[in-house]
Copies of this chain bind each other. A is one copy, B any other.
Amino acid sequence: MGVQRTTLPGGLRVVTEFVPGVRSASVGVWVGVGSRDEGPSVAGAAHFLEHLLFKSTPTRTALEIAQVMDGVGGELNAFTSKENTCFYAHVLDDDLAMAVDLVSDVVLRGRCRVADVDLERQVVLEEISMRDDDPEDLLGDLFIEAMFPAHPLGRPIIGTVDSVESMTRSQLRSFHGRRYTPDRMVVAVAGNIDHRQTVALVERAFGGHLGRDVEPVPRRGGAARVRARPELKFVKRDSEQAHLSLGVRAFGRHEGHRWALSILNAAVGGGLSSRLFQEIREERGLAYSVYSSVDTFADSGAFSVYAGCQPENLAEVTTVVREVLAQVASEGITDDECARAKGSLRGGLVLGLEDSGSRMNRIGRSELNYGNHRDIADTLARIDEVTNDEVRDVAQVLLARPFGAAVVGPYKSARQLPSSVKSIVG
């Protein structure tokens, strides 16, 4: 059966996937707008708006919205990324119609009342404080800032205290009015559902918001225009551990080599048998948490390593990480590692797609980011096709790029960081 798509007037896309064996349905209304679409003065607007829309609609108060969803034991939530915003509900299949209606109502008709803007501003400021109190979260934002200086991708999704404090109702309403248009939206539904019935529910829920026949806004594309070199960023915290991220800019979504990079990532720091886990944790006991990861945006990305360790061990950890990366840059990974990484991706892919929530996420994101859907057999075949030569080339190319880094920890200043850290950024 696979993924089914219907495009409604106004350019709204509805994508669905039937998931055998489940009694649930996941409904996501995706909007192709995120923090990279904000100007600096409204940094955090997409995320702020995501909060605000839940506060009321013309026919429902925030309490009524919450009561309806709690009453059936469903989950109602939303998240904002650099490029997309998703409002979603996970419910029993019997409650599909309610979920489609409720989530659509919030997205389309969420009001931005002055009193709510001020209340929710406080909540977002609390969320910023929470992020600041979690060294690993803080480091994550800091690292992306170090990798994309003076570029919209580098700004934190949540905004800054200043931008959130000064955001006005009219800025948020205008952001909503201009960006939340049906041609930028995808309704993704997965679970024990039927495509035609789901489309009818969406038509009814969107009603007058559908508009005239227009094409959906094309997927994001283009080449990255990140000109500034990656930097070293440091924030002082009186923490027990020092937290380090370092890495390079990687491929955008449409540049290819996606699976070769995933294989490299798995072998370097993706699992328990990866080089970093073995060298840093298993052989030396230097960290509890150490891993590599890949971020992918439309036109750029990042490949990075994280480790948290005792401050006095940061120099050693950094040296070992850099040695592991240097070795991979010059020699690539072994054929055994490549085979194991492929197995890891294959298994992870299949195991990760059993519930309706992850299916909904996959098809919603895929429709917005790629405009098409690959079935799992096809994806598995693509993973199989990657050669270790391609992985070696990717390692060689990426790891020759300029590095950026970020540290959160108990040092007086960036100058007090170990020289192995300071020399990462050339």
**Nearest CB on B from A257, distance (A):** 20
Complex interface residues of chain A between 78 and 114 (CB less than 8 A to chain B)? 90-92, 95
> Do B21 and A351 touch across chains, with their CB atoms under 8 A apart?
no
Summarize A's interface: helix, strand, loop or mixed: helix
One digit per residue, 1 when the CB lies within 8 angstroms of any chain B CB and 0 when it does not, for chain A 30-69 equals 0000000000000000000000000100000011011101
Q: Which residues of B contact A284 (CB under 8 A)?
A: 119
Minimum distance in angstroms from A315 CB to a CB of chain B = 16
Residue among A132, A282, A283, A339 with the highest chain B CB neighbour number at 10 A = A282
A313: min CB distance to chain B, Å:
9
Chain B residues near A310 (CB-CB < 8 A): 126, 129
Contact of A308 among B130, B278, B354 (CB under 8 A): B130
The chain B residue with its CB closest to the CB of A308 is B130
Complex interface: chain B residues within 8 A of A419 (CB) = none
Q: Which residues of B contact A308 (CB under 8 A)?
A: 126, 129-130
> In chain A between 315 and 357, which residues have their CB closer than 8 angstroms to a CB of chain B?
339-341, 343-351, 354-356
A122–B285 CB distance below 8 A: yes
A115-136 interface with B by 8 A CB criterion: 118-124, 126-127, 129-130, 132-135
Cα distance A148–B281 when bound, in Å? 34
Contact (Cβ within 8 A) B22 A126: no
Complex: A117 Cα to B283 Cα, angstroms = 12
Expressed in whole angstroms, the Cα–Cα distance for A287 and B332 within the complex equals: 48
Contact A133 B135 (CB under 8 A): yes
A245 within 8 Å of B by Cβ?
A: no
A interface, how many residues as a size bin? 35 or more
Assuming the contacts A22-B21, A119-B285, A121-B285, asked whether A74 and B351 have C-beta atoms less than 8 A apart, the reply is: yes
Residues of A whose CB lies within 8 Å of any CB of B are: 19-24, 55, 62-63, 65-67, 69-76, 90-92, 95, 118-124, 126-127, 129-130, 132-135, 238-241, 266, 270-274, 277-278, 281-289, 308-310, 339-341, 343-351, 354-356
CA distance A281 to B120 in the complex (A): 8
New contact pairs (8) apart from A91-B351, A354-B355, CB-CB < 8 Å: A24-B350, A55-B282, A65-B272, A66-B273, A70-B271, A73-B346, A91-B347, A133-B240
Q: List the B side residues contacting A356 at CB < 8 Å.
A: 354
- CB <8 Å contact, A123 and B71: no
Q: Which residues of chain B are near A70, meaning CB under 8 Å?
A: 266, 270-274, 340-341, 343-344
Q: Is the CB of A271 within 8 A of B119?
A: no
Given A23-B354, A66-B278, A70-B271, check contact A240 B347 (CB 8 Å).
no
Which residue of the partner chain B has the closest CB to A309?
A: B126
Is A23 a contact partner of B350 (Cβ separation < 8 A)?
A: yes
Q: Within the complex, which residue of B19, B129, B288 is in contact with A126, where a contact is CB–CB below 8 Å? A: B288
Task: Give the Cβ gap from A246 to chain B, nearest Cβ, in Å.
Answer: 19
State how many angstroms separate the Cβ of A405 from the closest Cβ of chain B.
Answer: 19
**Bound state CA distance, A324 and B343, in angstroms?**
52
Known: A67-B273, A92-B347, A120-B285. Contact between A130 and B73, CB under 8 A? no
For A270, the chain B residues whose CB sits under 8 A away are 70
Q: A21-B20, A92-B350 are in contact. Are A129 and B344 (CB under 8 A)?
A: no
